[in-house]
Structure 1
Amino acid sequence: MLAISTVRKISIRRWINNQAVASALPQLCAPNGECMEPSNSLERFSDIIKSPTDHRSYAVVTLTNGLRCTLVHDAAAQQSTAALAVAAGHFQDPIDSQGLAHFLEHMLFLGTEKYPEATAYQDFIHQHGGHHNAWTGTEYSNYYCSVDASQFAPLLDRFSRFFYQPTFNPDWIAKEVNGIESEFRLKKNDELRRLYQVHKATSNPAHPFAKFSVGNLATLTQDGDTSVLRQNLQQFFATWYRANRMTLVLAGPQSLDVLEDYACHYFSVIPGGGPAKQAEQQPLYLPSQLGVQLNVRPLKDARRLILAFALPEIDSDYPFKTTSFLAHLLGYEGPGSLYAQLHRSNLINSLSAGGGISGSNFKDFNLNMQLTADGLKHTGRITEQVIAAVRHIREQGLQEWRYEERQIAIANAFRFQEPARTSDLAPQLAINMHHYTAQDIIFGDYRMAGLNHDKANQLLQQMDAEHLRMTLIHRDLPVREHEPIYGTDYQLQAIESQVLTAWQQPPASTIQLPAPNSYLQPLESPLPLSEPVQQQPQLQEVAPGLQLWLLQDPDFRAPKAHIYCQFTLPQVTASASHYACARLWCELMIDRLNEACYDAEVAGLHFNIYPQHYGITLHISGYSHGAVELAADLLQRFVATDFSAARWQDIHQKLQSNWQSALANKPLNLLFARLNVLLQPQMYALSDLALALADVTRQQFDDWRQALFNRAELKIFAHGDLNSDRVGPLLQSARQHFRLTAGLQESMPATHELSDLVDSGRLQQRGQLQTRHSDHAVLFVIQGANTSIAEQTSLLLLNQFIQPHLFNELRTRQQLGYLVGSTYMPIEQRPHLLMYVQSSRYDAAQVQARMKAFLKNFSEQLGAVAKEELAGIQHYLIRKLREPDTNLRLRSQRLWNTIAPAEVSFDRLERMAQHLESNSTSYFTSELCKHLLATERQGFITAGPKEL
C-alpha cells in the first residue's frame, strides 16, 4: 500500500473572465407597458470558483428588490434555463392547512393575470421544445424551466409572473386539490413516505418538521369545501413569496449583459420586504424522543435498522464537511471495517453512513443497515458495535492525513468535473445560493478547508446512546400505535436504562480504520491523442467471439473512462430458473467484491454487474488510471470466486422476498415490466423468477455456475482516456479466462409482434394484472411496423406531439390521476409509443374508456392541431437529435446503447434528423394519423387491486 505523508497541492481555483460578451439587446418593455433601454447598472460579483473543465462564465447580481440572481453564459447551450428558489416550504404551512406550500406550487402553474389559461404556460414550453418542473421541500421550494434560446424572453415573461401575478382561479383550486389528493393516494403505499410520516409523528409536535408536508383533501379543505383555501393561498403567497427570500438563476447562450437585463426587466417587479430567514428555535426532538427504539411495520418484507444520532445544524460547517468526513470513516467498507466485521458475521447485507434529515437547526446522522435474518436477532449487538466504532474514531481517527486523502478525492472530482447540462445546473445553483457565499455557489459542494477538530469532537461526543433513535423495520415487530395519514403501525418506546448505560461504555472496538489508499493520488493530464483521431468507436475482431470497440475520446480530455464488458450467455437466458440464477450470481458477486474493491470506489473507480436479456454485463467507470486493471481483475474473479453458504442463503432469500413483494409496487411500474416481458424474448416476470428461485438448491446453483461461461461471446467497449496499449491487459485477461464462441448474439430472437400478442390474448385486453396496490393503471401501446428510420422518427414525433395534449386533457382537465403521460421506447431498435394513466379515483375500465375517447378526438382534430404545432416540434426534435453530448458519461451511455445490440449504427440519430428535415408537415401528419389508426399494432394493458 502507498503511504501518504504529504499531499501535493492541486490548483482548483479558477476565476471567470470578467469581460462580458458583446451582444445587441432589443428594446425591452416593462410589465406596465413602458419601454426602457438596457441598463447594466448593477454591481456584479464575478469571483466565482469553478472547475477548470467548466467553459461557462458566471456573475452574481442583486436586484433593487433584494432578489439575488446568478447569471450563467454558456456559449454552447442551445436552450436557456431559468430557476427560482424561494425560502418557503412546508415548514411555513399554517397548522390548520398542512400541505399548503405544496398546493401553492401546483397552483402557480395554472394561470397568471396576463396568461390566465391553465395550460398556457405548459403549451408555450411544449411548442418551443422546453420542459419545466418544481418541487417543495421543508424550508425551500424550487421552480425551473428551459426553452429554445430564441424564446427565452417570452418564457421569462410567463415564468416571472408566477411570483407576482398568480390568479389562484377558484375553479382550478377546486380541480387541482383533487390532483393533490391523487398524488397523496399514489404514494400511500410508498415505504419511504410511510416511514417519513412516522418519523414526523414521533418528533417534537412544536417543531414544523412534524407537519404533514404533502397535504390532501382532509388537510387542505373543510370536508371538501375549498372556499377558504384561496384565501389561505393568497395569505401564504403574500407573506413568504418575497424577492428578498428568493434566488434566481438565468442561464443560456445569451451574454451576461443580456441575462442581467432580463433579470432586471422581468423580476424586479416582484415585491420585496418579506420576513428575514431565521433558524427554527424549537428542538427537533423532546428528551423523551431520544434514547428510544422505534418499531415500524412495512408493507413489504424488509429487515432494516436505522441508527440516527440527533445533532445540531451543519449548514455553517459546509467549508469543512465534517459530517461527510465522519461518514467516510464510519461507512468505510474495506477490510477490517465496521461494515466488514458485521458483514462477515452475517449480521448485515449493507451499510450506509451520513444520511438523514437536516435543516436550519437540526441534523440526523444516520447509519442505515439492511439486516440478515441473524442480524434481526442481534440488533443490540450491532448498535453496541456502532457506538464502539464512534468512540474508536474519536480516539484514533481524527488524523490530518485521513482528511487530506478526502481532500485529494474531492479535488480530483472538482478538477475533472464532468459538465452538467446547463438546464440541470441552474436549479442546483438556485438552492446553493441560499446556503453558500457567492464565491462558493459552485465550489461549496466540494470545499474542504481543513479538519475542524472542535466540530468533529463535538459531533462525535453527541453520537452516543443518549442521542440515539434506533429504528427497526420488519413485519413481525410488536406495535401498538397507528399513524393515521399513511396507515402505518409503529411503536415508540424508551430503551431500558441499563442497556443505554452499557452502550455508553461499550467494549473496545476491533475495527480497522482506513489505511492509506493506494488508488488515491492527484491525477495527471490525459494521454496524448493517438493518430488518426477518431470520432466514432472502432471495431477490432480480437478473436472469435471477442470484439473490442475502442474510442479515445477527442473532446472530453480528462483522465476518465468507461468500460463495458457484455457477455452473451445462453446459460443465463434459457429459462426463468436460469435467469433467476443469473440475478443471484450478480448479487453475490457484488456482495463479495465490495470489500475488496472499496478503496478503488473511494478513489473514484466504480463497478456494476447486472444481467440483461443477452447475458451479463460488467461496467467500470471513473478515472482511467486503474480502470483497465480493475476490469481485468474482475473478469478473472468471474470464474474464480466462490460464495459462503451463509451469504448464498441470505441473498437467495432476499431476492425471493423482493420479487414476491413486487405486486405492492406502483401499478404503472408493473405494467411497464409486464410489457417488457411480453415484447422481449427471454425476459421473465418477477413472480415467475421468485417461483423459479425458490426451487433452486445450492447444489443446482453450483452446477449452473460451473456451466455459466461454457458458451460465451464477449463484446467490450472501452471509451475515454484509453488507447490500444492501455486496454491490452483487459483483452489478455478475457482471452485467458474464457472460452469464447462467435455468433451467439446474432442468434437471439427478435422482438415479439404486438399483433401476435393481441391475437393470442397474451396482451390483456379484457383481464387485468392484479396488484396489491389500491390504484388502477392503464397502458396503451403502439408498436412500429419495423425498425426503419421512418418508423422510429414518426413514433418519436408522435410522442412529442401528443404528450402535452394527453396531460392537459386527462390530468389537468379531467383529473383522472396524478400520473399521466407518454414515452417513446425502442426495443432492439423496434419503436414503441406508450401512453399511460394511473388513477386512484377511477377503475381501469373507466380510464381505458376515457383514453379511447381522447385518442378518437385527437385523431379527428389531428390535421388542425398539426398545422399549428407540428413544424415547431419537428424543429425541436431535429435540434435534440443533433444535440452534442454534454459530458463523457452521457456520450458513453449513448454509444453503448448503439453498440450493445447486434445491429450497430452510429448515424441513426443523424438519419432521423435528416428524415425530419426532408419531409413536410403534411407528410408527417399523414404518418401520425396512420399510427393512431393502425389498430393491428395497438393494445391496452391494465392493472388493478387484487380482490380479496
Structure 2
Amino acid sequence: MSDREPSARGPRDLDGPLREPRPQPIERVTDQLETPSLDDRTYRVIRLSNKLEALLVHDPETDKASAALDVNVGNFSDEEDMPGMAHAVEHLLFMGTKKFPVENEYSQYLASNSGSSNAYTGATSTNYFFDVSAKPANDQEPSASNPSPFKGALDRFAQFFIEPLFLESTLDRELRAVDSENKKNLQSDQWRLHQLEKSLSNPKHPFCHFSTGNFEVLKAQPEAKGVNVRAKFMEFHEKHYSANRMKLVVLGREPLDVLEDWVAELFAGVPNKNLVPNRWEAEVPFRESELGVQVFAKPVMDSRELNLFFPFLDEENMFESQPSRYVSHLIGHEGPGSIMAYVKEKGWANGLSAGAYPVCPGTPGIFDCQIRLTEEGLKNYKEIVKIFFQYVSLLRESPPQEWIFDEQKGMADVDFKFKQKTPASRFTSKTSAVMQKPLPREWLLSGYSRLRKFDSQLIDKGLACLRPDNFRLTIVSQKFPGDWDQKEKWYGTEYRHEKIPDDFMAEIKKAASSSASDRLAELHLPHKNNFIPTKLEVEKKEVKEPAVAPRVVRNDSIARTWFKKDDTFWVPKANLVISCRNPNIYSTAENAVKARLFTDLVRDALEAYSYDAELAGLQYSVTLDARGLFLDLSGYNDKLAVLLEQVLITMRDIKIKDERFDIIKERLNRGYNNWELQQPFHQVSDYTTWLNSERDYVVEESLAELPNITAEDVRQFKKQMLSQVHIESYVHGNLYKEDALKLTDMIETILKPRELPRPQWPVIRSLVLPAGSNYVYKKTLKDPANVNHCIEVWLYVGDKSDRMTRAKTMLLDQMTHEPAFDQLRTKEQLGYVVFSGVRSFSTTYGFRFIIQSERTPEYLESRIEAFLNLFANNLDSMSETDFEGHKRSLIVKRLEKLKNLDQESSRHWAQIASEYYDFELSE
C-alpha cells in the first residue's frame, strides 16, 4: 500500500490501468508501490507465464536505462568437489549465446551505447546487471519509430538465461580469470578471516563452502578425474537456472506498457523448471560442538580485533519489526553508557561495530560484534568479553524501550521519505536482490528501510540469543598468542582453535547473569537523541533552469564563501565544506604527520558526541587536503550548525592527553605499515600521485617522521595550524544565503584566525613531463606472500585547463576501454585487475593503464605497448560511423544528469578545490 496518492498521469504516460486486460499471459501484481515523497517514477510488478517476476520502472528523466536479474542460486549450491561452480557459471554466461555467439558482442554493444555491465555471486543468489543510454542516438524521446538502444541490450541480456553457449574456447580463459580473482584476495584479511569462520563451521551446512573457486578445483582436478568440466557447468545452469527463481528489474524512459511488452517478448523463452526456492533447514552453520570455542587467528596486516559470533534469529519474515536493528543499535552504540564508551575510556579499544546478517533462507542469521583493540585491549580481551555480557544482562533486565524503537522508526521514515535517486544499475541490482525476499510487493522499495511495528517479544528473543552457551570468540592479532598450530585450507590463515577454558567460561556466565548491584555502574541505556531533525520543511519553487554554479557571497582577507541554494533535489539536507588554507601543513613530511595526528585526535575526541549526530543522519569529517585542514559536514540541515559548532570548539580547545596520543600514534603507525600490505594496485596508484605532485609525501617518508613526534609537538603545531589561515567554504542545500554567511561567521568567531596574505596561499602544482621523456619507478612489494605484481603506465597528455586536451583524452578512453579489457584481461588473461582510462593530477591530464598480475611488470608493459599499437591500427581503419558513435556515446556520458545533492556538491567542490572554477564540467 502506498502512503501517498498516485501521481497524475501526463500525456507521456501511455500505460493503461492495472485492471486492463492484456493479450499476453501476464499477471499484473501491483502498480502501487510505497515510494519516497519526491519519486517521479512509476512502477509495476508483473509475473510472466513462466513464473519470472519483474519490476518495471518508468523514469521519465533517466539518462541511463538499466536491467538486473537475480537468480536464486549461489555458492551454497556448489558441488562439494567443485567449489566455485556458481561463480564460474556467472563468468561464463558473458561469453556468448546462441543468438549472439560472438563472445564480447554484449560488452561491445553496451560500450558503443554509453553502457557497462557487471555481476556478482553470493551465497544464495547470482546477480547480473547492466546500464545503457536511455535515449536514441538523436537524443530524442524513445518511440517505436525512434528506439533507444535499451531493447537491444535487453535482448542480449535475456539470452544469458535462455541459450548460453559455454564456449569451449572461452572456458580455460574464464576459469583463469576466476583463479586470478581468487589470488587477488589471498592476502586480504577480510576474505581470509571470513573464510576461516566458514571453514570452522558445520561441514554439513553450505555456510562452510569456499565460494570463489580457483583453477585447480574447477578445472585441473576434475579433468584429472576424467570429468568434462564444460558439461558440468552446463549441467549446473540447467539444474539451477529457472524462470521461477528469477527476479528482474527493468528501468527506462519508455512507458510501462512498452517495457512490459519487451519483457514478455524477450524473457518468455527463459525455461521454467518449477524449481522449489532454495532453502537450507536441515542443518545450522554452528552446532553445539562449534560453539563455546575461541579461535586465535594471525592476520596479514598488523591488526587487533575481538569478534563475538552468535547464531541469531531467522529474520526473513520479520521485516516489519526487524528486532536485530534494536539490538545492534544498543550494543553498537558509542555514546555515554555504552560498551564502546567504557572500553575506550579504559584505553582498550579504538572502535566497535555490531549487527546481524542473514545466512540463507531457512537458516538462523548471525549476530556479530567486532571490537578493534589497542595493545592494552588485547591483553585485557577477557575483561572486554565480560563487559559485553554485562551489557547484555542490562538489556535483558530492562524491558525493550519503545521510545528507542520510535527514534529508530522515525529516522527510518525520514530517510525513506527523502531518499534520493542512485545510479540506475545500482538501483536495479539492489532491488532485484530484494525481490527474492518474502516482502509484500507494494513494499519492495521500502520494506527493509522502514520499521513498522514494535515487537518487544521478538526483541527479547533476539537478546536471548546473546548468551554464553551460544557464541564463538575470535581474537585476531599478529603477536598473541603466537603459537598458532593450524592453517586454513583455502587461504592459509594460521590459527589456533580450542574450547573456551572452563574458568573463563565461568566468568562469562557470571557476567551474563549479573544484576544491577554487581554490574559496572558506567553501563546504562543511551539518552534521547537531540540531533534527530524536527524541521524538515523545504521551500520548493518552480525553476526553469537550475543554476550551474555556486556564487561567492563573501570574499575578504579572512574568508571566501561559496553558496548555492538547492534548486534541483528539494530535500531538507545540506552539505558544508571548509578548507583552511595553511602553507605550513605540507611544508615538510614532519608537519604533515603532525597535522594528521591532530585530525585523528579531534575525531577521537568527538566520537561519543558525534555518534548521535550520525544516527540522526548527520556526518562530518576532519581531515587534510592539499591546501591544509579540511572539514566536511553533510546531512539534514536542521542541526548541522550545532554539530559544526562543537567540531570547531573541539579543534580549538582539545586537550591532548598523553595516553590517548600514544594510542592514536600507535594506530597511525600500524596504518602506515599496513599500507604496504594492501593490494598492489592501490599502492601503485599512490606512488604515481606522489611522483606527479609537487607537495606530497609517500608512506615511507611519513613513517620515518612518526617515531620522533610527541604529544607536545602536536600541541604546539596546533597553534600554527589554526592561528593564521584563509577559510574557503562551500554551502549547498536547503539553506539560504544568510545561513551560509552565519556559518562562515561561526567559523571565524570560534577559530579567530589572523589573515593569511595571498602570496602565502599554498600553490598546487603537478609535474609536467618533457616531450619524449620516459621514467620508471620500481618498488619491491613488502608482503612476500603476495603472488601479484602490478604496473601503472601513465601517459602525460597535456594541460588540465585545456578543454580540447580533455575532450580528446576522454574520447580515447571511450574508444579503448572495452577493447583494452577484452584484449588484456579476457583474451590474454593477464590478471583480474585490468583497467584503463583518464587520470588527472592537479594541473596535468593523462591516460593510464593498471594491470595486477602474476606476470612480471616488464612483460605487462610490453603487452600494454602491443595493445596501443594494435589500437593505433584499428583507429586508422575505423569507419566514420563508428567514430561518430564513440563521440555520441561520450557526449551521453558527459551530459548524464546528477542523481542527488551529494553528487552536485562533489562536482562544485572539485572545481573550487582545484581552483579552475569551470563549473560546467562534470569532474
TM range (shorter): over 0.9
What is the aligned partner in structure 2 of residue 13 from structure 1? 3
Match in the other structure for 2:575: 562
- Amino acid in structure 1 at the alignment position of 2:920: D
In structure 1, C-alpha distance between the alignment counterparts of 2:312 and 2:39, rounded to whole Å? 36
Q: Partner residue of 1:906?
A: 919
After superposition, residues 470-549 of structure 1 pair within 5 angstroms as: 470-476=473-479, 477=481, 478-506=483-511, 507=514, 508-510=519-521, 511-527=523-539, 535-549=548-562
Aligned residues: 884
Q: Report the equivalent of 2:194.
A: 196
What's the counterpart of residue 275 of structure 2? Answer: 275
- Higher deviation after alignment, 175-184 or 631-640: 631-640
Q: TM-score, normalised by structure 1?
A: 0.90
Structure 1 contact 240–274 (Cα < 8 Å) conserved: no
Structure-2 change in CA distance of 1:461 and 1:42 (3 Å):
closer
What's 1:31 paired with?
Answer: none
Which letter does structure 2 place at the counterpart of 1:601?
A: E
For structure 2, list consecutive stretches of 5 or more residues without a partner in the other structure: 16-21, 135-147
The residue aligned with 2:767 is 752
CA contact (8 A) 2:626 2:764 kept: no
Determine helix, strand or coil for the equivalent of 1:627: helix
CA distance in 2 between counterparts of 1:514 and 1:409 reads 16
- Shifted more, 745-754 versus 549-558: the winner is 745-754
Q: How far apart, in 2, do the equivalents of 1:547 and 1:72 lie?
A: 43
> How far is the alpha carbon of 1:241 from its aligned partner?
0.5
Q: Partner amino acid for 2:384?
A: I
Q: Is the 8 A contact 2:66 2:252 kept in 1?
A: yes
**Residue from 145, 168, 183 that aligns with 2:130:** 145
- Comparing 600-609 and 502-511, the one that deviates more: 502-511
Match of 1:741 in 2: 756
Q: What corresponds to 1:930 in structure 2?
A: none
Alignment pair present for 1:328 and 2:341: no
Partner of 2:407: 405
Kept in 1, the 8 Å contact 2:347–2:374? The answer is yes
1:97, CA displacement in angstroms?
1.0
The aligned counterpart of 2:28 is 43
| SS of the residue 1:625 aligns to | helix
8 Å Cα contact 2:2-2:33 kept in structure 1? no
Residues 131-172 of structure 1 show CA distances to partners (whole Å, capped at 9, x for unaligned) of: 100000000110001112211111111100000111011121
Aligned counterpart, 1:68: 53
The letter of the residue matching 2:192 is R
* Superposition deviation, residue 522 in structure 1: 4.1
Aligned to 1:97: 82
Letter in 1 for 2:428: A
Distance 1:403 1:898 in 2: 42
CA positional deviation for 1:869: 3.0
Which residue in 2 is equivalent to 1:393?
395
- C-alpha distance in 2 between matches for 1:23 and 1:707: 62
Letter in 1 for 2:131: S
1:223–1:358 Cα change, 3 Å: closer
Alignment pair present for 1:265 and 2:234:
no
For residue 660 of structure 1, report the CA deviation from its aligned partner.
1.4
For 2:557 and 2:807, the matched residues in 1 are separated by: 35
Change (3 A) 1:378 1:181: same
Question: What secondary structure, in the 3-state scheme, does the structure 1 residue paired with 2:529 have?
Answer: coil
CA distance in structure 1 between the partners assigned to 2:581 and 2:414 by the alignment = 36
| 3-state SS of 1:709 partner | helix
Instruction: Describe the shift of the 1:21–1:101 C-alpha distance in structure 2 as closer, same or farther (beyond 3 A).
Output: farther
**In structure 1, what residue type is equivalent to 2:206?**
P
The answer for the alignment partner of 2:142 in structure 1 is none
| SS of corresponding position for 2:436 | helix
Aligned residue number for residue 821 of structure 1: 835
Equivalent-residue separation in structure 1 for 2:637 and 2:507 (angstroms) = 48
Give CA-to-partner distance per residue, 1:701-739, whole Å, 9 cap, x none: 222222222331111000001112223432222222222
- When residues 534 and 399 of structure 1 are mapped into structure 2, their CA distance, relative to the original with a 3 A threshold, is same
Contact 1:79 1:146 in 2 (8 A): yes
* SS in structure 2 of the partner of residue 122 of structure 1: helix
Per-residue CA distance 1:627-683 (angstroms, 9 max, x = gap): 123223322321211222122101101111121122221111111000111112211
Q: Is the 8 A contact 1:16 1:58 kept in 2?
A: no
Deviation at 1:424, TM superposition (A): 1.8
3-state SS in 2 of match to 1:233: helix
1:157 is matched with which residue: 155, 158, 161? 155
Structure 2 partner of 1:8: none
CA distance in structure 2 between the partners assigned to 1:655 and 1:611 by the alignment: 15
One-letter amino acid of the structure 2 residue matched with residue 815 of structure 1: Q
How far 1:283 sits from its partner (Å)?
A: 1.0
Distance 1:681 1:347 in 2: 40
Cα distance per residue 1:768-791 (max 9 Å; x no partner): 444423211111111222120011
**Could you say which residue in structure 2 is the equivalent of 1:922?**
none
Between the aligned partners of 1:561 and 1:716, the Cα distance in structure 2 is: 13
Equivalence for 2:44: 59
The answer for the alignment partner of 2:294 in structure 1 is 293
Q: Could you tell me which residue of structure 2 aligns to residue 635 of structure 1?
A: 648
User: Which amino acid in the other structure matches residue 126 of structure 2?
Assistant: S
Q: Distance in 1 between matches of 2:234 and 2:542?
A: 63
1:109 aligns with 2:94: yes
Give the letter for the 1:498 counterpart. Answer: D
Larger deviation, residues 721-730 vs 289-298: 721-730
Question: Equivalents in 1 of 2:163, 2:656: separation in Å?
Answer: 64
Contact 1:714 1:740 in 2 (8 A): no
Contact 1:16 1:46 (C-alpha < 8 Å) held by counterparts: no
Residues 72-471 of structure 1: matches in 2 within 5 Å?
72-149=57-134, 150-223=148-221, 225=223, 228-281=228-281, 282-356=283-357, 358-360=359-361, 361-396=363-398, 398-435=400-437, 436-471=439-474
- Cα distance, 1:23 vs structure 2: 7.1
Which stretch shifts more, 74-83 or 534-543?
Answer: 534-543
Structure 2 counterparts to residues 862-901 of structure 1, below 5 A: 862-865=875-878, 867=880, 869-901=882-914
Distance in 2 separating the partners of 1:59 and 1:820: 38
What's the CA shift for 1:603? 1.2
Letter of the 2:718 counterpart: R
**CA distance in 2: counterparts of 1:594 and 1:621, whole angstroms:** 16
Q: Distance in 1 between matches of 2:821 and 2:579?
A: 38
**1:719 corresponding residue in structure 2:** 732
Identity of aligned residues (%): 25
How far apart, CA to CA, are the structure 2 residues paired with 1:679 and 1:131? 30
AA aligned opposite 1:276: V
Look up the equivalent residue of 1:432 and give its one-letter code.
V
Q: CA deviation at 1:18?
A: 8.8
Candidates 796, 813, 816, aligned match of 1:799: 813
C-alpha contact 1:313 1:362 (8 A) present in aligned 2: yes
Whole-Å Cα distance in 2 between the matches of residues 544 and 258 of structure 1? 59
SS at match of 1:831: strand
Q: Would the aligned equivalents of 2:207 and 2:359 in 1 still touch at CA under 8 Å?
A: no
Distance of aligned partners of 1:786 and 1:117 in 2 relative to their CA distance in 1, 3 Å threshold: same
- CA-to-partner distance for each residue in 1:551-570, whole Å, 9 max, x for gaps? 11112112100000111122
Residue by residue over 1:11-42, the C-alpha shift from the partner in whole angstroms, topping out at 9 and shown as x without a partner, is 982354596976789xxxxxxxxxxx974854
State the secondary structure of the residue aligned to 2:365: strand
TM-superposed CA distance for 1:690, in Å, is: 1.2
Assess, with a 3 A threshold, how the Cα gap between structure 1 residues 653 and 146 changes in structure 2: closer, same or farther: same
Contact kept? 1:568, 1:745, Cα under 8 Å: no
CA contact (8 A) 2:583 2:762 kept: no
Deviates more, 1:489-498 or 1:97-106: 489-498
- 1:908 CA displacement: 3.5
| C-alpha distance in 1 between matches for 2:759 and 2:390 | 53
**By how many angstroms is 1:111 displaced?**
0.6
Q: Deviations over 1:162-198 (max 9, x none)?
A: 0011101112112211111111111110111111111
Shift of the alpha carbon at 1:904? 1.3
Q: Contact 1:81–1:144 at 8 Å: present in 2 too?
A: yes
Distance (Å, rounded) in 2 between the aligned partners of 1:735 and 1:859: 56
Using the alignment, how far apart are the partners of 2:602 and 2:386 within structure 1?
Answer: 29
The separation in 2 between residues aligned to 1:283 and 1:638, in whole angstroms, is: 50
